[in-house]
Amino acid sequence: MKTKDKSCLKYINSTVKNTKNKTILLNGATGSIGYEVVKFLSYLNNNLIILVRNTENGLKIKHEFESLYKNKIYVLYFDYLNKDSINNVISYLKTNNVNLDIFINISGIYHQKYQIIDELEKTYLVNYLMPIKFINDLFNLYNDLKVIITDSVTYHFNLNNKKLLKIKNKQDYINYLNSIKNKTKRYGITKRLLLEYLTNLKYLQNKNIIFAHPGISGTNLFKAKNKAFNKVFYLFVPSLMKLIFMSPNKASLSLIKACDVDKIEINKWIGPRAFIHCWGYPKIYNLSKKAYDKKITNKVYELTNLL
Ligand SMILES: NC(=O)c1ccc[n+]([C@@H]2O[C@H](COP(=O)([O-])OP(=O)(O)OC[C@H]3O[C@@H](n4cnc5c(N)ncnc54)[C@H](OP(=O)(O)O)[C@@H]3O)[C@@H](O)[C@H]2O)c1
C-alpha cells in the first residue's frame, strides 16, 4: 500500500469489522473513487465483481490488486447507456449462481454536455433512471441484498415540489426533467431523485439500502475531456479542487463504512464528519427532512415507474 494510504488504512484497521470475505458487486470501478474502493475492499480480502465501461482498464485493476491481495476480481463490461450490458450482467449473476452480499453503485456523471438519449437527458439516465432499473433487477434476484448508493450533498437542490406534485403523465415528467439546463442543478436533481425513489423502496419493501456520500474530491468527474465548460475553467478549477478538497482515497471511506454497517434508519446517511460534511472521516448523520417527505418520495416513485 502506498504511503498516501497510511491514514486511511489506520482508519480501516481500527473501524472495519464486518467487511471481510464478502462477495461485492460494484460499478464505477475505473473512476477515481471507485478505484480506491476496489483497493480497500481487496485489502480487506473481499471477492469483487467490477462492472466497467473500459474492460482493458478493468483488467489492469484486477491484476494489480489480485496480485497484491490474493482476492478474486471478476471484470464485466457494463454501461448504464447500454441496456444489453445491464441484462448481460443480470444473466451472468443468475447463470453462475453468484451469492452476492453487497452492491455498490458508484457510477455517476456530472459536468457533461446536455444530450438527450431515448427522450431523457443523459445525466438522468446514468445517475438516476438506469441505476434504479438495475437495482430493481438485482432485488428480484437477491431479496436481502445490501445496496449502497453513492449520493451527493447536491441532493439539497430544490425539486420544485409544487410543480412536481401536479405532474400526471410520463411526457410532462420528461419535459420537466429535460427543462433543467443548469448542469450543477441537473446533477443535484438526479442525485435527489435517486435518493427519493430508493427511500420509498426502503419504506415500502423494507430493503437494505444505505446512502453514502464521499464529500468533495477533485476527481475525474471534473475532467476537461467532458468539455462542459470553457478552457479557463479547466485551467484552474480541477487543480484548485485537488488542493482544497479530500483525495479520492479518503473520499472512498464513506463507502467502506457503508459496507461495514448492518442497516441504517430511513432518515440517516453516511458522509464525512467535518466542515459542512465535505471533509474528514465518515460518520452516520441525519439527512435533511425534505429528502424523506412521504408525499414527495411517493410522487417520485410513481413518476419514475412511468418512465
Ligand atoms: N468527486 C466528488 O466530489 C463527488 C462528490 C459527491 C458524489 N460523488 C459521486 O461519486 C461517484 C464517483 O465519482 P468520482 O468522483 O470518482 O468521478 P469519476 O472518476 O468520473 O468516476 C465516475 C465513474 O462513473 C463511471 N461512468 C460514467 N458513465 C457511466 C455509464 N454510462 N455507465 C456506467 N458507468 C459510468 C465512469 O466510468 P469510466 O471510468 O469508464 O469513465 C467512472 O468509473 C459518482 O457517483 C459521483 O456523483 C463525487
* Stretch among 9-13, 48-52, 216-220 having the lowest mean pLDDT: 216-220
Decide if pLDDT at 192 tops 80.
yes
Tens-digit pLDDT profile for residues 259-284: 999 999 999 999 999 878 888 999 99
Distance 28 CA to ligand 1 centre (A): 6
Longest alpha-carbon distance in the chain: 55
Tens-digit pLDDT profile for residues 281-292: 999 999 999 888
CA distance 298 to 287: 17
Using a 10 angstrom Cβ sphere, with 0-12 exposed, 13-18 middle and 19 or more buried, the burial of residue 221 is buried
Distance 256 CA to ligand 1 centre (A): 16
How is the chain split into domains, by residue range?
3-304
Decide if pLDDT at 251 tops 80.
yes
The owner of cell 438516476 is 128
CA distance 267 to 1: 36
- What integer pLDDT is reported at residue 2 of this predicted model? 67
34 HSE (CA, 13 A, CB side): 27
Distance 220 CA to ligand 1 centre (A): 7
Q: Of ligand 1's atoms, which has the minimum distance to the CA of residue 80? A: 32
Decide if pLDDT at 128 tops 70.
yes
Range 208-236 average pLDDT: 85
Cell of 216: 468533495
Q: Of ligand 1's atoms, which has the minimum distance to the CA of residue 221? A: 20
Tens-digit pLDDT profile for residues 92-122: 999 999 999 999 999 999 978 899 999 999 9
Tens-digit pLDDT profile for residues 131-145: 999 999 999 999 999
Range 223-227 average pLDDT: 74
Contact 208, 146 (CB under 8 A): yes
- What integer pLDDT is reported at residue 148 of this predicted model? 98
Range 179-196 average pLDDT: 95
Q: Of ligand 1's atoms, which has the minimum distance to the CA of residue 33? A: 16
- What integer pLDDT is reported at residue 291 of this predicted model? 87
Range 184-198 average pLDDT: 96
- What integer pLDDT is reported at residue 219 of this predicted model? 85
- Identify which of 32, 1, 197, 37 has the alpha carbon closest to the alpha carbon of residue 108: 32
Q: Of ligand 1's atoms, which has the minimum distance to the CA of residue 81? A: 31
Query: Any residues with Cβ below 6 Å from ligand 1, and which?
Result: 27-28, 30-34, 53-54, 78-81, 106-110, 126, 150, 152, 213-214, 216-217, 219-221
Higher pLDDT: 157 or 96? It is 96
- What integer pLDDT is reported at residue 1 of this predicted model? 66
Q: Percent of the chain at pLDDT above 70?
A: 99
Higher pLDDT: 162 or 227? It is 162
Which of 36, 75, 219 is the pocket-test mutation for ligand 1 (most atoms within 8 Å of CB)?
A: 219
pTM of the prediction? 0.96
CA distance 296 to 150: 21
| 3-304: CATH class | alpha beta
- What integer pLDDT is reported at residue 244 of this predicted model? 78
- What integer pLDDT is reported at residue 220 of this predicted model? 85
Range 66-82 average pLDDT: 98
Q: Whole-number mean pLDDT of the chain?
A: 94
CA distance 46 to 29: 15
Distance 114 CA to ligand 1 centre (A): 17
β-pair partners for 52: 77
**pLDDT category of residue 195 using cuts at 50, 70 and 90:** very high
- Identify which of 113, 105, 229, 125 has the alpha carbon closest to the alpha carbon of residue 177: 125
**pLDDT category of residue 231 using cuts at 50, 70 and 90:** confident
Range 294-305 average pLDDT: 96
The 3 state secondary structure assigned to the chain is CCHHHHHHHHHHHHHCCCCCCCEEEEECCCCHHHHHHHHHHHHCCCEEEEEECCHHHHHHHHHHHHHHHCCCEEEEECCCCCHHHHHHHHHHHHHCCCCCCEEEECCCCCCCCCCEECCEEHHHHHHHHHHHHHHHHHHHHCCCCEEEEECCHHHHCCCCHHHHHHCCCHHHHHHHHHCCCCHHHHHHHHHHHHHHHHHHHHHHHCCEEEEECCCCECCHHHCHHHCCCCHHHHHHHHHHHHHHCECHHHHCHHHHHHHHCCCCCCCEEEEECCHHHHCCCEEEEECCHHHHCHHHHHHHHHHHCCC
- What integer pLDDT is reported at residue 230 of this predicted model? 80
Q: Of ligand 1's atoms, which has the minimum distance to the CA of residue 218? A: 1
Distance 14 CA to ligand 1 centre (A): 28
